[in-house]
Structure 1
């Protein structure tokens, strides 16, 4: 690919970003991009403003960046900015750019410091920038501010994870040098999602604010916490400089002087500073887009074919066609049953590796929880022997018996089996609860997939009806359990090893009595085994 073609890669991805943002699909596409992460007051905003050469980002205490900002820098002779939500409007006053970011943020999140994962797309044209696209993410925080919810830390983390876990996303990890870099929020999250350091670019800010006698030389030389793409040090304007409206150009000159004169950094001066960082990011992003372009193209073509197929189905679409309604209903029930069965059998395509789910939890109830409940039952062998003795004597009456009467054994066994009524009831309740949870897990697919996206209400209705059926089956199981001790003689008079076969026989006899009339219905299998 020639130089001209390489230069067009970043603008090409910018167009894709804008297109998918406009239709609300940005989060579902793994576009090559650079996400800026760091703790509050790490200097992220200053780094981005230095790239542009203008003050345009909101500032203040607490969380300032409350929505992802997709910042697209375009090299152009004329200097202005555009927002995706303000089509056709050019901003030449960058104070107005800041006001628009604040207004657009408040429009979606309110003024109570709430956050939202919906990005703001800002494009800046300037002769002073290189082609570059960055996603500025909210700074990591631990303490709620104002009316923020108590779990704000987890909300921000979840939002960051939506971006940084994608394989095509490079990480610009911004860390202040005047704090312990080993505990840097940015480097921690980078280490978590990129343990080999292949996607992470380190940026060390506030080098001029380190304690006297200390420096970050080993970090910048990539020796202490090595990253494949290395580190770049920058010196931003201080809060005093910002309040005093210090010109960014003057700040860049001061940054250059700092690296040239500092004894620990002057041997690295040609690889430090904001201009070098911008150049590195331009090269890294361009190369990254080039490397990921074939896979991205294949994915987009696959999505295009899928959408074209769906559009083709709508050509002869008649919403009131009874046959279409029937077909949709049958497809929904069938898909729901298949998904439910996979979750129970453990053969689904998305196996949970963090906790037990579906059939595994039911299996644990039968093989761990139920035996545990039985073990907890009080059993006094001495008292039992006394009861057996009394039962035998009472059955013999005035006669002296030569043989132990079966009736004595059956009477004692019935009483003992009656004691397991409560553990059995508890087992039924736990299994029904797990089945209901499995149904609810199936309903989470409403937000995904073509079929469920079209007929969300139908999907929910099927789930609710299934839960109702499970409730009735649970009542049947509890009713049978309450009468179970009366059938004890049938279970104790023959071969004691046939219990499992008897249950299987009961399943086979009942497999056609099913809520969806399916011979392989897992609801029928599990509940019949419980209730019989």
Structure 2
């Protein structure tokens, strides 16, 4: 059981690295308004001052704090008994370790600027800080930005909504324990952390409340009725703590001294209440998280097994491992490119191959459909010449003696009809171009070589685009060529023209006399 929390910490780091966010791991999420004492509560758990401080939103992204108790002869995970007793590292840069906690604070500030910008906005991306101490209790805690109600100068206008969405995203997770922090010197009934916790956990089954600043209450008042659960109901308990004051921080009062003062004040002020103070809070959180992990363990194991099986299946589909040897890589690139050319050629030549099933047949049907549509557009063009247009052309070409130039009318009308063929022909060429481009995408499906896939596809698209330009130029030149000389003596042409005139019950004489 004692290894459950370190195991979850490792899984959390792995999932954040691999992007497998769909697994919701058990963790404690700290929620509270600005200046409610969230950071001080976390520092009391670590017994070190390491979190950024100041006014406004100081915590600008989720900080996942993983506390790991160092067992004897396992420092730094290298069994180096000469290494430091207390150290930490960020999951983003695991090769670098910190023993100076002022450096840790500056590193957190720099990471927040990197992820949330140098203004006063926030980021959803978390910072994972692993702490390895011999005197901490194994724990995973997520510190979130403080709840705000209005945007201050320099903050986004919707900062309240952004923070609310960030908090809700974490505490909606059914595997999360909500640690709602409220200050004792404010009315607990107006606590924003309790309010947002009640919204997602109305029965209080996974909420634990922490009341801070017990030493700052008005004289003659105390928080006994709050700590005993008379005012708010949460099933995981209500624990009171006393944080280091700003004066303590300015005076560099040690954590040990602050904890000693806390114990003294609480024993004097609340002697009747058991289970109070920062040391008890750490033990209680460890117990709650361990029990919660144990409760969620069967479902977690099943989910990990499912994902593991899926990953194994994906690895099997990927095939053999790609060697990093230059000679092997060159051979693989050549082999892959040749296979792409073979697959593309088989489809375009309408010869189906087994590995591509019916892709070639589909391509053939699609291309034939484009040409069929082109033929129908040319033959049944709604813009075909009609009788009224012929009569209008004859009248417009009459000379001063009243005779119309039949040859000129004929050439003008026929040339116009020939020019109408250009648009559907170019559209057909574009459709075939798009089909070829789509086919190229289906000829390369090795997920291991995505970059090579993009490179080959880019070259093919460039070639197809270039050939489309030449094809369009060729169509336009061919149409222009056909309008330069009309072979009216062609027997087929004369027969078709006669049939058209006959169908319309007209002859050349009727046209002239119109």
Report the counterpart of residue 312 of structure 2 in structure 1.
Answer: 308
Q: Using the alignment, how far apart are the partners of 2:221 and 2:258 within structure 1?
A: 23
User: How much has 1:149 moved relative to structure 2?
Assistant: 1.4
1:96-135 alignment runs, 5 A limit: 96-135=103-142
Q: Using the alignment, how far apart are the partners of 2:150 and 2:176 within structure 1?
A: 28
Report the counterpart of residue 237 of structure 1 in structure 2.
Answer: 244
1:283 aligned to 281, 284, 287, which one? 287
1:180-329 alignment runs, 5 A limit: 180-262=187-269, 265-268=270-273, 270-315=274-319, 320=340
Structure 2 residues without counterparts, runs of 5 or longer: 73-84, 321-331, 345-354, 363-446, 455-514
Q: Using the alignment, how far apart are the partners of 1:186 and 1:326 within structure 2?
A: 60
Bigger CA radius of gyration: 2
Q: Does residue 101 of structure 2 align to residue 94 of structure 1?
A: yes
Q: Is the 8 A contact 1:113 1:145 kept in 2?
A: no
Q: Is the 8 A contact 2:28 2:179 kept in 1?
A: yes
Q: Using the alignment, how far apart are the partners of 2:358 and 2:131 within structure 1?
A: 52
1:32-431 alignment runs, 5 A limit: 32-76=26-70, 78-262=85-269, 265-268=270-273, 270-315=274-319, 320=340
> Which secondary structure state, in structure 2, belongs to the residue aligned with residue 271 of structure 1?
coil
The 1:313–1:100 alpha-carbon spacing in structure 2 relative to 1, beyond 3 Å, is: same
User: How much has 1:16 moved relative to structure 2?
Assistant: 0.3
User: How much has 1:324 moved relative to structure 2?
Assistant: 6.5
Kindly provide the CA deviation profile for residues 110-165 of structure 1, in whole angstroms up to 9, marking residues without a partner as x: 11012111111111111221111101111111222343211111111111111100
Q: Using the alignment, how far apart are the partners of 1:252 and 1:127 within structure 2?
A: 18
Report the counterpart of residue 402 of structure 2 in structure 1.
Answer: none
The 1:145–1:294 alpha-carbon spacing in structure 2 relative to 1, beyond 3 Å, is: same
Report the counterpart of residue 2 of structure 2 in structure 1.
Answer: 7
Q: Using the alignment, how far apart are the partners of 1:157 and 1:279 within structure 2?
A: 29
Q: Is the 8 A contact 1:66 1:114 kept in 2?
A: yes
Kindly provide the CA deviation profile for residues 252-293 of structure 1, in whole angstroms up to 9, marking residues without a partner as x: 11110111111xx1111x410000000000111111111101
Aligned residues: 322
Q: Is the 8 A contact 1:36 1:136 kept in 2?
A: yes
Q: Using the alignment, how far apart are the partners of 2:314 and 2:133 within structure 1?
A: 42
Q: Is the 8 A contact 2:23 2:303 kept in 1?
A: no
The 1:251–1:307 alpha-carbon spacing in structure 2 relative to 1, beyond 3 Å, is: same
User: How much has 1:309 moved relative to structure 2?
Assistant: 2.7
Q: Using the alignment, how far apart are the partners of 1:184 and 1:238 within structure 2?
A: 21
Q: Is the 8 A contact 2:37 2:243 kept in 1?
A: yes
Q: Using the alignment, how far apart are the partners of 2:150 and 2:157 within structure 1?
A: 8
Q: Using the alignment, how far apart are the partners of 1:141 and 1:104 within structure 2?
A: 22
Q: Is the 8 A contact 1:112 1:146 kept in 2?
A: no
Over the aligned positions, Cα root-mean-square deviation in angstroms equals: 2.3
Kindly provide the CA deviation profile for residues 61-99 of structure 1, in whole angstroms up to 9, marking residues without a partner as x: 110111111101111261111111122222110000001
1:24 aligned to 15, 19, 24, which one? 19
- What TM-score, normalized by structure 2, do the two folds share? 0.60
User: How much has 1:326 moved relative to structure 2?
Assistant: 9.0
Q: Is the 8 A contact 1:200 1:227 kept in 2?
A: yes
Kindly provide the CA deviation profile for residues 207-228 of structure 1, in whole angstroms up to 9, marking residues without a partner as x: 1111222221111111211111
Q: Using the alignment, how far apart are the partners of 1:80 and 1:193 within structure 2?
A: 36
> Which secondary structure state, in structure 2, belongs to the residue aligned with residue 82 of structure 1?
strand
> Which secondary structure state, in structure 2, belongs to the residue aligned with residue 60 of structure 1?
coil
Structure 1 residues without counterparts, runs of 5 or longer: 1-5, 331-450, 458-532
Q: Using the alignment, how far apart are the partners of 1:35 and 1:29 within structure 2?
A: 16
Q: Using the alignment, how far apart are the partners of 1:246 and 1:326 within structure 2?
A: 77
